[in-house]
Amino acid sequence: MELFAICCPECGASDLDPHTTYIVLAGEQRRIYHCPTCGAYFSETKNTPLAGLRTRLSRITTVLDALNDGMGVNAACRTCHGGQNSR
Ligand SMILES: [Zn+2]
């Protein structure tokens, strides 16, 4: 069983075809999937908390690791050079 399988946000089908890739502002590559069941095209981050983020995932991981290690929000953001409201 795959915990994070990508499903179509329109019909819920899990049999998807990779379509294209694109580069987000932070330089990371994201994939566009095509659902052969309903014909929808969507990004791998659609309907996730990561949709629309402009911050690198590696930077988010660094901040979350700092928070998990007991660092406060202000200290974690200062250490990682980001504001509390950074997207
Ligand atoms: Zn679909």
Boundaries of every domain in the chain: 7-52, 55-87
Q: How far is the CA of 62 from the centre of ligand 1 (A)?
A: 34
Q: How far is the CA of 56 from the centre of ligand 1 (A)?
A: 28
Within a 10 A sphere around the Cβ of 63, how many other Cβ atoms? Answer: 18
Is residue 1 predicted with pLDDT exceeding 60? no
Q: How far is the CA of 47 from the centre of ligand 1 (A)?
A: 14
Report helix, strand or coil for 47. coil
Q: Which of 68, 69, 66, 8 is nearest to 81 (CA)?
A: 66
Q: How far is the CA of 34 from the centre of ligand 1 (A)?
A: 8
Q: pLDDT of 4-52, one tens digit each? A: 788 999 999 999 999 999 888 777 788 999 999 999 999 988 888 878 7
Q: How far apart are CA 7 and CA 21, in angstroms?
A: 17
Handedness of CA 36, 37, 42, 47 (dihedral sign): negative
Is residue 84 predicted with pLDDT exceeding 70? no
Length of the chain measured in residues: 87
